[in-house]
Structure 1
Amino acid sequence: MTPKQPPKRRRLPPTERRDEILQKALNLFAEHGFESSTRELARQLGITQPLLYRYFPSKDDLIREAYRAVYLDRWNIEWDRLLCDRNVPLEERLKSFYASYTKAIFTREWMRIYLFAGLKGADINRWYIGLLEERILQRIVKEYRHLAGLDDQTKPSFEEIELAWALHSGIFYLGVREHIFSLPPSEDRDRTISAVVGVFHNGIQTYFAKAAVPKPT
């Protein structure tokens, strides 16, 4: 009996082959982190190392593409408009934003790559945290400063950004408990987000109201 031959790999156009390798790498990073060498990556991806190098000349190039695919490609430019639309009450803006944002990022792949990258100290986390602070957290602070009648053009202080992080991290934990701890997800995510935003909304207004009171001379 002749031995059974393994199925031949279907020839794909270069763009499709590159996307296939990237998707397999994302699955691998989500399960095992970023520790594998390019030789081991190629073996686990079921391709040769020269083929991996043809599409991604280095491991850093592959990680940068993972960042683009997982983070940047999921960024919805409508979020930028929504957070700054003062025709909509600020509390409602935040509820709508976080309902949409969590739908985009609450996946096993996204959450696990983000946390693996954080443990490794990978650049993709620093890039993404910079993006979060610039396009979400600073905007949230500036909108609350505006609501309190304070200067909304000044760069937020470290303490103000930390308050915005408290909101963001609290909502982020809903994804962590589901995709990292494998705990049951919130029965009604949007309702939970609404409650978290409501508590934050009331608390931070008190904080900025105190900041708006002139200090005695």
Structure 2
Amino acid sequence: MRAADRERLILDEAIRFFAERGFEGQTRELAKRMGIAHSAIYRHFPSKEALIERVYQEVYLSRWSQDWGPLIRDRSQPLQARLTGFYLDYVTRVFEYNWVRIFVFSGMKSFGIAGRYLDLVRREIIEPAAIELRHELELPDNRTCPLGGRETEMFWGLHGRIFYLAIRKFIYETPVPSDLEQTVRDAIQLFLDGARLALPRLLQDREPDRAS
């Protein structure tokens, strides 16, 4: 087997292994499962951390669409259409056994996968969406009034609401709605109905802070 093919084989099996066992699973156990020498893994990946980094790149970065950030910022469409387009594509790409389980396991260990990925979500989706909601409601922009924690937390709530469907399916193994598209559309509609009422009041509450 060519070196590149063996490396690919190890990576694919590592993704399945960590999704099933978590990051406490040992590379020695992975090698035994594959029927190869333990040293064969380290010929391709110098450490367990290096293998986990490749898992991150393969499972998370390869599924991140470079179109998502520009979509959220595209003011030629209503924000509801942009959020709906993003989340429907997001569900299609990430609602997958290995993705969800590795994400959850990584949050309980110190490898940083969950934190790095959520930072990407914050920069490319959460904060831009909060800015776009202000623009749509003709409220002060973030240069006049910087985004606050309560404001971005509203969008994290929407994100968590949708991602929790994947948690229910792949972690708790409980039923989820058969029509995920409609569930996503409903979540976005309900969120925006509430946010359009809440955000002006939230910014009014911050007026004394800006004056001071």
Structure 2 counterpart of 1:30: 19
- Mapped pair 1:115 → 2:73: no
Amino acid of the residue matched to residue 106 of structure 2? A
Stretches of structure 1 lacking an aligned partner (at least 5 in a row): 1-10
Equivalents in 2 of 1:169, 1:112: separation in Å? 15
Contact 2:168 2:174 in 1 (8 A): yes
Contact 2:151 2:199 in 1 (8 A): no
Contact 1:25 1:45 in 2 (8 A): no
Structure 2 counterpart of 1:102: 91
Contact 2:84 2:185 in 1 (8 A): yes
Deviation at 1:78, TM superposition (A): 1.3
User: Given the alignment, which residue of 46, 51, 63 partners 1:62?
Assistant: 51
Structure 1 counterpart of 2:159: 168
Stretches of structure 2 lacking an aligned partner (at least 5 in a row): none
* Percent identity for Structure 1 against Structure 2: 36
Deviation at 1:210, TM superposition (A): 1.8
**CA deviations over 1:92-120 (Å, ceiling 9, x no partner):** 11111100001000011111111111122
Equivalence map 1:44-55=2 (5 Å): 44-55=33-44
Pairs aligned (count): 206
Amino acid of the residue matched to residue 117 of structure 1? S
Deviation at 1:179, TM superposition (A): 1.4
Structure 1 SS opposite 2:85: helix
Rate the CA distance shift 1:212–1:33 in 2: closer, same or farther, 3 A: closer
Deviation at 1:46, TM superposition (A): 2.4
Pick the structure with greater CA Rg: 1
**CA deviations over 1:12-52 (Å, ceiling 9, x no partner):** x2222111100000000010001123323322332212210
- Mapped pair 1:151 → 2:141: yes
Structure 1 counterpart of 2:72: 83
Structure 1 counterpart of 2:129: 140
Q: CA RMSD in A?
A: 1.8
Structure 1 SS opposite 2:172: coil
Equivalents in 2 of 1:74, 1:45: separation in Å? 26
Contact 2:18 2:25 in 1 (8 A): no
Amino acid of the residue matched to residue 33 of structure 2? Q
Deviation at 1:122, TM superposition (A): 2.7
Structure 2 SS opposite 1:57: coil
Which region of structure 1 is more displaced relative to structure 2, 198-207 or 44-53? 44-53
Structure 2 counterpart of 1:184: 175
Deviation at 1:185, TM superposition (A): 2.7
Q: TM-score, normalised by structure 1?
A: 0.88
